[in-house]
A and B are shown apart, each in its own frame.
Chain A
Amino acid sequence: AQRVTQPEKLLSVFKGAPVELKCNYSYSGSPELFWYVQYSRQRLQLLLRHISRESIKGFTADLNKGETSFHLKKPFAQEEDSAMYYCALSGNSGGSNYKLTFGKGTLLTVNP
């Protein structure tokens, strides 16, 4: 079974402060991890995926297999980063056909 845990429902920071959104996962095989984001009145969209090792909009995330974590980080938060962030896992253990399992999400608010 695959499971994604986002321990913080809400996270509030001030503009310019560092931000870290936590994500832990449970999976028996080799997972692929994603962060999806939903800005106000917009569609859910991919922010980044661990295999691409990119920095998108200043965000980075490193897969830590030892700690089974995939935390999302940004050194200096901006007001436009305010959104709902979902961590998601894709795996194929037990013939799951690489389905995506989402966490419950963290609502990030960046205050001016």
Chain B
Amino acid sequence: EAGVAQSPRYKIIEKRQSVAFWCNPISGHATLYWYQQILGQGPKLLIQFQNNGVVDDSQLPKDRFSAERLKGVDSTLKIQPAKLEDSAVYLCASSPRGQSFSYEQYFGPGTRLTVT
């Protein structure tokens, strides 16, 4: 089966600009996650979707970050305006079941964002 797809793979922007990332999960996976991974850290969950509904966005900086999964399939994550500290790899992951159990998460290749 095809894996989780993400684009773009790399993005360089100046601070205060906006940027959007796209993720297409594995077909049939109900749950989709966005993680932020800063250099030297483990991935940190930003937002979790179950189909097209948000089940956890407690660590999403809502003043500048937004995410949507309109048809319960692919998703976009947006940052507006970007800050220097947003430089990180943004990972998308999906899993086949609902949020009541912990199933294996399948990760995409990530988008490396550099804010200058």
On A, residues with C-beta under 8 Å from B are: 4, 9, 32, 34, 43-46, 49, 86, 88, 90, 96-105
**A101: which B residues are within 8 A, CB to CB?**
45
**B81: which A residues are within 8 A, CB to CB?**
none
Closest 3 CB pairs of A and B: A102-B42, A90-B102, A44-B107
Q: Interface residues of B toward A: which range?
A: 20 to 34
Min CB distance B82 to A, Å, is 23
Interface pair B56/A102, CB less than 8 Å apart: no
Interface pair A97/B55, CB less than 8 Å apart: yes
B interface: dominant SS: loop
Closest to B42 in A: A102
On B, residues with C-beta under 8 Å from A are: 3, 33, 40-45, 48, 55-56, 91, 93, 99-102, 104-110
Interface pair A98/B102, CB less than 8 Å apart: yes
**B101: which A residues are within 8 A, CB to CB?**
98
Decide: A43 near B42, CB < 8 A? Known: A90-B102, A96-B56.
no
Interface pair B99/A97, CB less than 8 Å apart: yes
Decide: A43 near B107, CB < 8 A? Known: A99-B45, A104-B42.
yes
**A97: which B residues are within 8 A, CB to CB?**
48, 55-56, 99
Interface pair A86/B42, CB less than 8 Å apart: yes
Interface pair B43/A102, CB less than 8 Å apart: yes
* Separation of A44 and B45 alpha carbons in the complex (Å): 14
**A104: which B residues are within 8 A, CB to CB?**
40-42
9 A-B contacts, Cβ less than 8 Å apart?
Answer: A49-B102, A86-B42, A90-B102, A98-B99, A98-B100, A98-B101, A100-B105, A101-B45, A104-B42
